[in-house]
Amino acid sequence: MVSFAQRVERMRESGTLGMANKADDLIEEGKDIISFSMGEPDFTTPQHIIDAAKRALDEGFTHYTASNGIKCLREAIAKKCREENGIPATCNEVMVTIAKHAISIAILSSVDIGEEVIIPNPCWTSYHALINIAKGRPVSVEVNRDNDFRMKPEDIMEKLSLKSRVIILNSPSNPTGGVATKQDLKGIAEIAMDHNLTVISDEIYEKVIYEGKHHSIAAIDGMFDRTYTINGFSKAYAMTGWRVGWVTASKELLRPLERIQQHSITCVTSFVQKAALEALVGPMEPIHEFVRIFKKRRDLIVKELNRIEGFHINKPKGAFYAFPAYDYDIASLPFAMKLLDHGIALTPGSAFGRFGEHHLRLSYAASMEKIKEGICRLKKAVEELDLPLRKESENNK
């Protein structure tokens, strides 16, 4: 019998991908399913970006590039980080990579066996898995509707121990849509500096923000030297399939990541890097239009979800997910499975950590018509299922 290393035996399938795959299988079998499980924009990549990739291919730009990425792209990323985010990065403090890979290798480079990584809970499903692969220990800080799904400095303080090593931030957040304020980040920065912690700031949804402003913790005095800022093209530019993003950090912090990249993926696909450059320097109007469309959908889905008996949601401030709490006495996984039978695919809140239980995640990367029809099905399903209410419902406030 084949045996595997412990680090993979404990690993579970991604809850979000698992549900999306199930929905896809049913759709392929001819079932009528409306899917809210997608973690990606439903838009096509803007044409000028596609054209840049085609041009690069026609020009024979098909070889390995420098492992940390082509210089013109690193320069454009550094400029963007300085001008839009206040992050004092030069082009040698940027590595072109894949956002998910950057998070993985930033954790691998920072965390030794048994060291603790503070994460919001609920949070993006891969943080737990990647920390476990590094043999670290995830330590959850609860975020919920009462604290606006923001990780508060005082809650982080309570979770610190001698083994604390890293804090992971994700603003705007998947799955909650929570957005950190400047004040939150100042408090978290103080903790990181006082306790010598590294911060991994996952800013992949930076551009998908409706209220408030995006702030980068690495812009705070003293934080650039201890922060990996991770970002990418997937969500903002509808480029999930291109697999390109970046990490910025001081040269010292970046060095181990560069080495891992040299020995693992080598570099990001050459012509994709040319397309990424075009995304940064080309017209931004398509991206603003995506956000305008997402905002309309958000307003619709929030209004309709709040009309369903026993469902509660505040308006998420960023990303493209609705994360309603519900009052019914059923765990989110069996609830999601029952809803699949009623023609709606969504992700159970428990996939995002234990504080995500009794929530559902609906991605509104779907047309207004699909949202209307899907929520109509959800409402009908809830009525037909006639589920009992939880006795002491935390959500029933």
Ligand X SMILES: Cc1ncc(COP(=O)(O)O)c(C=O)c1O
Q: Which is nearer to ligand X, 81 or 98 (CB)?
A: 98
3-state secondary structure at position 246: strand
Q: Which is nearer to ligand X, 174 or 395 (CB)?
A: 174
Quote helix, strand, coil % in the chain, to nearest 5: 45, 15, 40
Q: Which is nearer to ligand X, 88 or 212 (CB)?
A: 212
Continuous H helices in 196-343 = 251-263, 270-281, 285-306, 332-341
> H or E stretch including 53?
helix 47-58
- The least distance separating ligand X from the CB of residue 383, rounded to whole angstroms, comes to 32
Strand 198-202 and strand 347-348: pairing?
Answer: unpaired
Cβ atoms within 10 A of the Cβ of 12, count?
Answer: 11
- The least distance separating ligand X from the CB of residue 241, rounded to whole angstroms, comes to 9
- The least distance separating ligand X from the CB of residue 341, rounded to whole angstroms, comes to 26
- The least distance separating ligand X from the CB of residue 175, rounded to whole angstroms, comes to 8
Region at 391 (left for phi over 0; alpha for psi -120 to 50; beta for the rest): alpha
Binding positions for ligand X, rule: CB under 6 A? 39, 98-100, 124, 170, 174, 202, 204, 232, 234, 240, 245
Q: Which is nearer to ligand X, 207 or 327 (CB)?
A: 207
3-state secondary structure at position 200: strand
- The least distance separating ligand X from the CB of residue 202, rounded to whole angstroms, comes to 5
- The least distance separating ligand X from the CB of residue 158, rounded to whole angstroms, comes to 24
Q: Which is nearer to ligand X, 39 or 343 (CB)?
A: 39
3-state secondary structure at position 196: coil
Q: Which is nearer to ligand X, 175 or 374 (CB)?
A: 175
Q: Which is nearer to ligand X, 52 or 98 (CB)?
A: 98
- The least distance separating ligand X from the CB of residue 170, rounded to whole angstroms, comes to 5
Strand 34-35 and strand 311-312: pairing?
Answer: unpaired
CA distances (Å), origin 292, targets 323, 361, 364: 20, 21, 13
Cis peptide before 175 (omega within 30 of 0): yes
- The least distance separating ligand X from the CB of residue 178, rounded to whole angstroms, comes to 12
Handedness of CA 365, 123, 326, 333 (dihedral sign): positive
Nearest by Cα to 228 from 105, 342, 363: 105
Evaluate whether 232 touches 245 at the Cβ level (below 8 Å): yes
> H or E stretch including 395?
none
Q: Which is nearer to ligand X, 123 or 381 (CB)?
A: 123
Evaluate whether 171 touches 118 at the Cβ level (below 8 Å): no
